[in-house]
Chain A
Amino acid sequence: MNRYLPLSIIMILFLVTTMFQPYAKPVLAQESYPEMHYSVYAPEYDPVRVRAAQMFSENAKKVGVIIDVKPVDFNVEVTKVIDERDFDMYIIGWSSSNMPMYFSNFLVSWQDVPGGNNPEGFRNAEFDSLAKELDSTINVTKQREIIFRMQEILGEQVPRLGIYTRYITQIWQKGWSGFHLEYWGYASPLTWRNVYNPNKDTFIVVLNDDMRTVNPLREQSIWEDYVWNSVYDTLVMLNDDYVPIPWLAYNWTVSEDGRTWTFYLVNNATFHDGEPLTASDVAFTLNYLKDNQVPTFISTWRYIESVQVIDDYTVQITLNQTYAWFLYYLADLPILPEHIWSTLTWNASEPPLIGSGPFVWSKRVTGEYIELLKYDNYWRSDMPKVNKLIFRVIKSMETAALALQNGEVDFYTYYVPPATLDTLKTNPNLDVNLVRGFTYYYLGFNLRRPGLNRTLVRRALCYLMPKEDVVNGPLMGLGEPANWYISPRFTLYYNPEIPLKYPWVRGGSAYDEASRLLDEANTMDIDGDGVREILPIVPTQPPTPPPEINVSEISEAIGALHGAITDLSTKITGLSGTVSGMPGKLSEAVANALSGINTYLMVLTVLVVINLLITIALIVLIRRYLA
């Protein structure tokens, strides 16, 4: 027995260590000058992004920059990039390029925290102050000026580089009209209210995935929005130019300081059970979200101080700070009936779907279809124009294409495989439109990494990303290069000068241009291995003490030593990032005690060991008492 004990301990240790082997971090080789050797993450489920990364990597190799392509699970990429911020470059999609409010919250220094909106670590004092100013500006012209300037800073500094945007395919049977498309890149709620065909009264829409939950406060996917948008109404609506227009609130006023909003509601809106929709329902909805801290609507309730019902059809909302984007968030907020939801918990799994929208929830067969009927007492008598709205769940795009061909469905909007598109285009019964989507895919740089913290290096890399080739190759022409941070469709806030001033398009001389920029950034292959080394930049002015702003060229004055320090500090931040990824007082205490050791894995290891011990003990007991 004693003879085998060491052996079993070794086996256990072996098992445990093999389990945690992937987490062992390689020790960085000590070099006099760091090499330009990076990696780029791309989500493995999307062949286009992986291939874009590959093409980028091949180009970079030609000018002496090694970039390893790392296709990873989407969740892993999010963890690595956004939570741990342990990456060099990454490619990801960003769907909110039509939403100006993100300009007050992304790439700003206070978002440079684990989980924040600035995984790049972009620090720019002017950008920060503009973002702060933007948040409290309600004058549209002023907003426009600020956002224009912010786009210019981004174009010049390129913390991220737009690569491409995909076309969304929107297909409907000929004869239908009244579409309002392109809202979020998908169908707008106005579509369900306006769609019309003189010969038909049932409108059948492809739902690309089944509703995961029927609770509008627990939104899980954009497809659920299709249903809720037709069952519930909102205070305001976004029109085709993404400007808020009156809806349930026919008018609104805002105080000078932008903190008090007064909404005047239409007086003939009713819920589907006949109860009138009044100011108290609006107040209830907002208070309900705030009291329950509903996560999916956090931006809506975050700044609400109080909601007052002035009279039956007037409601006044007081915010605790000026909040420029409040209306945009209200455009997304379903008004819940107080008489129903006041007795429900907010995350109930099967709440009754009673709203004030143009359609009444009628029937759902899980995984197959959802049927909605026209609400006869809808407050706008001219809407909706069809009697029945059916959402048919078809997950496979090929099947959806086939259903369109056969005339079984009236409307489809999303991507279709390129090979299928040609057949659809030739069908005389179908209208096929390609619309530039709002999701754009970009390459983000980690500005904490040596080399990538130099603007010239980033610009050189921008020349090496073959946007046109990506669009024509892996994307098969179903998209276009993206040179922007806010969609060109959003004419109100889009700065058209950016792509002209900073084209970053790979022309014939891309390699020369990139090499020139890299030389200028003082990177050079000094040991003759075909990979550039990052040489320190000779200070042109006396070095300032290590500033908090680690990006600007000034900080590079400290040279290679500083590079090493940054590297070390990145490692430490990375570690503390993982540690703080697991909140709770206990873990904090443990984290402090064992600073530098990954707590999460520690706990897991301990669990494994305890488990094995218990098992051994039980086996011994059995052998002793039962054998």
Chain B
Amino acid sequence: MGLREYTIRRVIELIISLFLFSTISFIIFRMMPGDPSSLYLEEGILEPGMREAIRHMLGLDKPLWEQYLIYLKNTFTFTFGVSFLYNKPAIDIILSRKLLNTLALLLSSHGLAIVFGILLGVWSAWRRGKVFDISSMLAAFILYSLPVFWVGIVMLLLFSVKLGLFPLAGTITAGLTHENILQYMADYLHHLILPATAITLIRLGGDYLITRNTMITVIGEDYIKTALAKGVPEKIVVWKHAARNAVLPIVTWVGLEIAVIFSGAVLTESVFSWDGIGKLIYDAALWRDYPILEAAFFIIIFVTLVANFLTDLAYAALDPRVKYD
């Protein structure tokens, strides 16, 4: 089977997965007891007939199969319907500042975690069995077994409440009028530091361990031994020859973990009141805002699937040894 057929097959599989997934998510969300009309009951405001009217307004009184067809149409045209909570198209709510906030948080923290993870992992593998290796490995184990929300709370307790160094919540100081863009950036960064550090710390352990493991395998390869024997300086062997090959798996791994990364944001964002996608999903789940939930899930899944697909395709196109299977 050639590359073309392989691509076609993968595309079809992608579509099947998306279809299957969207149906399952529809089913799962509808299985949650209750519906958005309960929102008005939170504090006991119940007018007779009001809930029926709200259900009608939201189209929830339609038969389920009709709702399903509408949902399919909305999903595959990427409109996702109108959010119940925010009275706006769901896609507009997701592609807003919230997404930017989440991306800022995730990119900065995971970027740092990957960079430090690789640096430490490579060096640790090279110095295998030495004090540095063992101590950093222990540290990685400890980081790996910490719950991210707890780290967040303890950091808040220490740096915000006790020391007063960082703000308690939010993405920028509420109500402050910023004179220029620089001031705004500084304020944003000031708010970003704690949550980003929390995620970096938690992820560092995993990234480090993976790099270290691959690096140990790479170091065992003959070409490294040859290079060393030829008298190439140690630093160059480590950072140019070995590290390059150790980096690939971790990058692939991060690519596969997009869904995990996004979902990890839920806890961090709720601890730091970070106004992002994670909190949006959490609220949407609690208030049964189906369009937002469906849109958020679909987009995350879609991005993950496409990322996987592209990596596989790139591998297939570049590496002649890959069997199309």
Residues of A within 8 A of B (CB): 19, 45, 73-76, 78-80, 82, 92-96, 105, 111, 115-117, 204, 212-213, 215, 218, 220, 222, 293, 295-296, 298-299, 302, 347, 349, 366-369, 390, 392-396, 398-399, 402-403, 408-409, 439, 582-584, 586-587, 600, 603-604, 607-608, 611, 614-615, 618-619, 622, 626-627
Contact = CB atoms under 8 A, between A and B. Distances in A.
B50 A366 contact: no
Contacts of A96: 44-45
B87 A215 contact: yes
14 contacts: A94-B44, A96-B44, A298-B49, A299-B50, A347-B87, A367-B171, A368-B175, A392-B174, A399-B167, A399-B168, A399-B174, A583-B61, A608-B27, A626-B5
B54 interface: yes
Contacts of A74: 34, 38, 42, 286
A201 B277 CA distance: 37
B38 A622 contact: no
A298 B286 contact: no
A369 B175 contact: yes
A92 B34 contact: no
Given A75-B34, A587-B63, A213 B86 contact: yes
Nearest to B26: A607
B44 A212 contact: no
A488 to B, nearest CB: 18
Interface in B24-58: 24, 26-27, 30-35, 38-54, 56-57
B5 A76 contact: no
Given A73-B34, A626-B1, A212 B86 contact: yes
A92 B42 CA distance: 9
A82 B169 contact: no
B64 A622 contact: no
Contacts of B97: 366-367
B54 A75 contact: no
Given A105-B48, A218-B87, A604 B30 contact: yes
A136 B41 CA distance: 26
Contacts of B87: 212-213, 215, 218, 220, 347, 349
B314 to A, nearest CB: 21
A78 to B, nearest CB: 4
Nearest to A398: B168
B31 A295 contact: no
A603 B26 CA distance: 12
A607 B72 CA distance: 13
A93 B96 CA distance: 34
Interface of B: 1, 5, 8-9, 12-13, 16, 19-20, 23-24, 26-27, 30-35, 38-54, 56-57, 61-66, 68, 82, 85-89, 96-97, 167-172, 174-175, 273, 275, 286-288
Q: Which 9 A/B pairs are nearest by Cβ-Cβ distance?
A: A75-B34, A295-B53, A94-B44, A95-B43, A392-B175, A213-B87, A584-B63, A79-B33, A396-B169
Contact of B169 (A79, A220, A399, A615): A399
Max chain B Cβ within 10 angstroms of own Cβ: one of A76, A78, A204, A218? A78
B64 to A, nearest CB: 5
A396 B86 contact: no
A627 B12 contact: no
Contacts of A366: 96-97
A80 B167 CA distance: 41
Contacts of A79: 33-35, 38
B47 A298 contact: yes
Contacts of A604: 27, 30-31, 64
Nearest to B36: A75
Contacts of B175: 204, 368-369, 390, 392, 408-409
A484 to B, nearest CB: 15
Given A79-B33, A402-B168, A439-B43, A611 B23 contact: yes
Contacts of B45: 95-96
A607 B88 contact: no
B303 to A, nearest CB: 22
A622 B14 CA distance: 12
Nearest to A585: B63
Nearest to A84: B33
Contact of B174 (A76, A115, A369): A369
A584 B64 CA distance: 9
Given A366-B97, A611-B23, A394 B64 contact: no
Contact of A80 (B30, B33, B49): B33
A587 B172 CA distance: 50
A138 B47 CA distance: 20
Given A218-B87, A293-B53, A78 B174 contact: no
A98 to B, nearest CB: 11
A595 to B, nearest CB: 18
B12 A95 contact: no
Contacts of B168: 396, 398-399, 402
Contacts of A398: 168-169
Given A116-B48, A298-B53, A615-B20, A396 B273 contact: yes
Contacts of B48: 105, 111, 116-117, 298-299
Contacts of B57: 295, 347
Contacts of A608: 23-24, 27
Nearest to B47: A299
Contacts of B51: 115
B56 to A, nearest CB: 8
Contacts of B13: 622
Contacts of A611: 19-20, 23-24
Contacts of B89: 349
A347 B16 CA distance: 36
B33 A393 contact: no
A321 to B, nearest CB: 14
Contacts of A293: 53
Contacts of A92: 44
Among the interface residues B12, B63, B174, which one has the most CB atoms of the partner chain A within 10 A?
A: B174
A91 to B, nearest CB: 12
Given A369-B175, A392-B174, A608-B27, 18 more contacts: A73-B286, A79-B34, A115-B51, A116-B48, A298-B49, A298-B50, A395-B273, A398-B169, A399-B273, A402-B168, A408-B175, A587-B63, A600-B64, A604-B30, A611-B19, A615-B19, A622-B13, A626-B1
A413 B287 CA distance: 24
Contact of B61 (A80, A95, A222, A584): A584
Most-contacted residue by chain A among B27, B33, B41, B57 (CB, 10 A) = B33
Contacts of B167: 399
B325 to A, nearest CB: 10
A608 B23 CA distance: 8
B181 to A, nearest CB: 15
Contacts of B64: 582, 587, 600, 603-604
Given A298-B49, A349-B87, A78 B34 contact: yes
A207 B230 CA distance: 70
A375 B34 CA distance: 43
Contacts of B50: 295-296, 298-299
A610 to B, nearest CB: 9
A343 B115 CA distance: 56
Contact of A627 (B1, B34, B62): B1
Contacts of A95: 43-45
A59 B80 CA distance: 50
Nearest to A184: B43
A391 to B, nearest CB: 9
B16 A619 contact: yes
Contacts of A408: 175
B289 to A, nearest CB: 10
B49 A302 contact: yes
Contacts of A212: 85-87
B169 A395 contact: yes
Contacts of A82: 41, 46
A402 B168 CA distance: 9
Nearest to B171: A367
